[in-house]
Structure 1
Amino acid sequence: MKREQEVKPEKTPEKTKILILGGTGEMGQWFTRFFGERGYELTVWGKGGKVEIARKLGVPFATDLDSAISESDIVIVSVPINVTEETIAETAPKMKAGSLLMDFTSTKVKPVEAMKKFAPPGVEILGTHPMFGPTIPSLRGQTVILVPIEGRSEKWFPVIRELFEEGGAHVEVTTAAEHDRLVSVVQGLTHFAYISIGTTIDRLDFDVRKSRKFVSPVYDIMLDFVGRILGQNPYLYALIQMENPSVIEVHDAFLAECKNLSEMVREHDEEGFVRKMKSAALKYGDTSHALRRSDKLINSRIAEYEMVLNSIGKVCGFYHVYSGKTHVGLLEKVRPDEVLLSKLVSKGTSPQIKNKYIRLKLENLRLLSETELREWRKENLEHTVRDIAVLIPAGAKPEIILDAICTNEHLAVCEISDIYTGTREAEIEKEGQGTERTGVTYRITIFGDCNADEVEKETTERLRGLGCLIREKNLKPKK
């Protein structure tokens, strides 16, 4: 009898064929995995013909694109903004009746107009904008904007909406025009401001690394967001700025305000500066709410670092959010930007790299929970198995005793390997007891990073404390 967690089967949707145009790109790959994990039948295509990416994803590459388009239930356009309309024009007329055409573009007016123009009457269309990038590990907590078209989204819109909401996303429904107007600030202004800060730092020939020694929490977070934008695909960000007509109006307002504020600073117009801030605060609305949320962000960073600091000298696990690898070992040192681990020896480890130290950048890591660390140790370490044979007290249940010894955190697995009845008179008389008792052999699997002898001794003492009579190891059970 082994203690293990019950696994329930997941629901699988009916097989729906999805073709992702641009499926070998970063966002295309993300959604290939997303739909694939939910039981959909995926095919990908990319202009570069990167068949090896499709192979890595475990899905076919559409070598005959026209056939793939005509056979698919859903076709998703996930290509650069400046070729989206052209791709829609080439794809939509080849789709079968009853299918769905979607786009994953950062603008909506032009793609939606192209879908309405080129998709046959029997093909439904749905403008879609995932408001996140491909580095996000999960849809949970993210926003997806949907632009359904009256008379052209009746069948598929509720299906797609439910799919995203079941994945944990917040779904916002709007029109194409409202989307582009709002996104001109949400993305256009935000990206423009951060990129401007980055290019200003470049113009000043400013030492960012040195400045972090004098960092405040707000500056530290701002630098991370600037670096996040600068470190991603610059062509994508250029197109987000250039393909949404509403962005130019936003730029003009931003530049005018920058010039106005700068003039106030040059003229030492303190009251004018204060009036500007107060006016903006009134327009912003609930600044106290923003303060609390930003405090929460800052404090979470501090708490995470404190948790890592408090783990020095303990066995810890870190998940690398970009490589997907898990590193486990004794945490030796923690610096502001990195940790030093002495790696544990896992199954299959080469003797040449045993007990080696490894340095990891802290910003790339997530500290594993106790449960996650335990599962990693269980799956990856070389464990020691020991049998402890006992005579349990009269009337006691072996399973209850098993539960009691399973609480030892050093045990990967604890199970009953044998139960037998019969009296070992010599043993019972030695303890001054004359009644027959049930014999049980408890098999314990001890984590490979623990002292097996010490853990066996602890477990034996616990069994003895529960009233069990420890049997001599050379006595075989009497069936």
Structure 2
Amino acid sequence: MASTPETMPDGRPAIGLIGLGAFGQLAARHLAPHADLTGHDPHAPMPDGVQAVTLAEAAAQPVVILAVPVQALGEVAAAIAPHIQPGALVIDVASVKLEPMRILRETLPAGTRILGTHPLFGPQSAAQGVAGQSIVLCPEPGVDPECAASFLRERLALDVHLSDADTHDRTMASVQALTHLVSKVITDLDLPPAPYTTRSFELLAEAARLVSQDSDALFRAIERHNPHAADLRRRFFEAARALDKRLAE
């Protein structure tokens, strides 16, 4: 990959990673072999391959990745805004896109290149590695995502999809918000282990297991910060109540 404004002469991106929670740790582990990583998170240990720096130093990198909850994004964006360099590429990894990209657009300096991303995997689903996993890129108008897309394809072997933020959130209302809702209900039922099962039950149990360790903040972000999720959730519960009524007749 040729040198670009966000890469060093040797082609390694210089990245400031802000937020080293569960997903930040996963990102750091897979990015460290391919990038010069600096990181900031006062509440989490710094993984191998990441140099601990101040928030200002992390925010001053040519590429800045914000691996923080949607609920904290506004506060973090305001804190880093004075330190963002002209033309820097700022990336978020939230599970919704319209709200985070609006926050970044309204808070960061003019000229900042904003690239919304949604890795469609997490620490559990990527336990065996990220190769072959999917990621969605939602660039701001005028932002060319090709350099980032090439890095993700060639260095991390990810399956890269391009989308606009609204199409992404509409799609995720069913692909993610609905499946997480169903999986959360199954998990909360706390069913005892079954001595024998069907394939369909095993698939439901696997779906519930994959999201069982997700934080409540992530679940709320998926359900409450996607503007298209509430209507689908309403329709789901209406269908469930109608089915319950039919079975009682």
TM bracket (short chain): 0.7 to 0.9
Asked if the contact 1:189/1:250 (under 8 Å) is kept, the reply is: yes
CA distance 1:197–1:45, shift in 2 (3 Å): same
Q: How does 1:11-160 map to 2 (within 5 A)?
A: 13-22=10-19, 24-38=20-34, 40-48=35-43, 50=44, 53-54=45-46, 56-62=47-53, 64-70=54-60, 72-135=61-124, 136=126, 137-151=128-142, 153-154=143-144, 157-160=145-148
Query: How many residue pairs align between the two structures?
Result: 238
1: distance between equivalents of 2:87 and 2:183? Answer: 43
1:178-227 deviation digits (Å, cap 9, x = unpaired): 1112111111111101111222x24xxx5x22xx2131122123223223
Amino acid at match of 2:25: Q
Q: How does 1:276-355 map to 2 (within 5 A)?
A: none
Amino acid at match of 1:198: T
Indicate the residue corresponding to 1:169 in structure 2. Answer: 158
| 3-state SS in 2 of match to 1:139 | coil
1:374-424 deviation digits (Å, cap 9, x = unpaired): xxxxxxxxxxxxxxxxxxxxxxxxxxxxxxxxxxxxxxxxxxxxxxxxxxx
2: distance between equivalents of 1:33 and 1:227? Answer: 23
Across the aligned residues of Structure 1 and Structure 2, the Cα RMSD in angstroms comes to 1.9
| 3-state SS in 1 of match to 2:50 | coil
Shift >6 Å, 4+ stretches: none
Which of 231, 234, 238 pairs up with 1:249? 231
Indicate the residue corresponding to 2:168 in structure 1. Answer: 179
| 3-state SS in 2 of match to 1:214 | coil
Indicate whether 1:198 and 2:187 are aligned.
yes
| 3-state SS in 1 of match to 2:129 | coil
Amino acid at match of 1:164: L
- Rg larger for: 1
Amino acid at match of 2:163: T
Asked if the contact 1:89/1:114 (under 8 Å) is kept, the reply is: no
Asked if the contact 1:92/1:115 (under 8 Å) is kept, the reply is: no
Which gives a bigger RCO, structure 1 or 2 (Cα 8 Å, sep 6+)? 2
Percentage of pairs with the same residue: 26
After TM superposition, the score normalised by the length of structure 2 is 0.88
1:314-340 deviation digits (Å, cap 9, x = unpaired): xxxxxxxxxxxxxxxxxxxxxxxxxxx
Indicate whether 1:231 and 2:213 are aligned.
yes
Unaligned runs of 5+ in 2: 1-8
Amino acid at match of 1:44: G
CA distance 1:122–1:25, shift in 2 (3 Å): same
Indicate the residue corresponding to 2:200 in structure 1. Answer: 218
CA distance 1:239–1:114, shift in 2 (3 Å): closer
**Aligned-pair distance for 1:235?**
2.9
Amino acid at match of 2:197: V
Asked if the contact 1:84/1:105 (under 8 Å) is kept, the reply is: no
1:70-92 deviation digits (Å, cap 9, x = unpaired): 2x110011001201122122213
| 3-state SS in 1 of match to 2:146 | helix
Asked if the contact 2:37/2:49 (under 8 Å) is kept, the reply is: no
CA distance 1:172–1:129, shift in 2 (3 Å): same
**Aligned-pair distance for 1:104?**
0.5
CA distance 1:58–1:149, shift in 2 (3 Å): closer
1:223-243 deviation digits (Å, cap 9, x = unpaired): 232233223323321332222
1:83-135 deviation digits (Å, cap 9, x = unpaired): 11221222134211132111011111111112222222332110111010023
Indicate the residue corresponding to 2:6 in structure 1. Answer: none
| 3-state SS in 2 of match to 1:57 | coil
Amino acid at match of 1:125: I
**Aligned-pair distance for 1:145?**
0.7
Asked if the contact 1:19/1:75 (under 8 Å) is kept, the reply is: yes
Asked if the contact 2:94/2:118 (under 8 Å) is kept, the reply is: yes
Unaligned runs of 5+ in 1: 1-11, 268-479
1: distance between equivalents of 2:165 and 2:75? Answer: 18
Amino acid at match of 1:42: L
